[in-house]
Amino acid sequence: MRIGLLGGSFNPPHAGHLGIALRALHALQLDQVWLLVSPGNPLKIGRDMAPFSERLQLASELSDNPRILATAIEKRLGTRYAVDTVRQLRRRFPRVHFVWLMGTDVFAELPRWRSWKTFVHLLPIAVVPRPGSVASALHGASASFLRRFRLPPSRVVTLADQVPPAWAFLPGRQNDISATRLRLARGRAF
């Protein structure tokens, strides 16, 4: 089983999240993508956050594709940091090949994550373009640290089977939708 993990606040979930999930399903030949709805993103403390149950419900309504599943597993596991979540998932599902999915905006922030150098050794990472962050992400600290572990485009489909650290860039159409702009447009958490 090959499963992509797309973590986030999903405050609110939007077409950009769905685009990442669909691109990863196809390009990486995944069996499923799990939308890991965070009970509380440590990097977003203090921001307008809708209740967890609402964010989970909306994430579950994001797609009618049965291979894209919104999950409250981080809440059930009691984890707040991706490194802890992935460790727990690998223990619970030892035969699953997990791949972390993220946009270039998040890839650029990766050095701010708790134990990020440990995290990149736990599972392969797929990075999709986001407007305004591609160049900085692909030439930033994360990409520099992981330079020799980047898969060439011809081998992207094998990413889930790679021994980490391994990462790949999945080029394609950039979606400039953002949860922050959606919240501002609605004048509340969502």
Higher-scoring residue by pLDDT: 23, 187: 23
Task: Please give the full DSSP string across 37-52, using - where no structure is assigned.
Answer: E-S--GGGTTS----H
Per the CB < 8 A criterion, the answer to whether 150 and 143 are in contact is yes
Which residue has tokens 């400039």? 176
Residues 67-126: pLDDT tens digits? 999 999 999 999 999 999 999 999 999 999 999 999 999 999 999 999 999 999 999 999
Q: Where are the chain's structural domains?
A: 2-186
Q: Is the pLDDT of residue 19 over 80?
A: yes
Per the CB < 8 A criterion, the answer to whether 126 and 167 are in contact is yes
Reading the block at residue 79, the tokens are: 């984890």
Residues 142-159: pLDDT tens digits? 999 999 999 999 999 999
Which residues fall within 8 angstroms of residue 149, CB to CB, at 6 or more apart? 120, 164, 165, 166, 167
The Cα-based distances of 21 to 57, 128, 147, 168 in angstroms read 17, 10, 24, 15
What does CATH list as the number for 2-186? Answer: 3.40.50.620
Q: What is the pTM of this model?
A: 0.89
Q: How confident is the model at residue 175 (pLDDT cuts 50, 70, 90)?
A: low
Task: Please give the full DSSP string across 151-164, using - where no structure is assigned.
Answer: PPGGGGGGGGGSPS
Burial 4-29 (b: 16+ CB within 10 A, else e): bbbbbbbbbbbebbbbbbbbbbebbe
Reading the block at residue 102, the tokens are: 């993220």
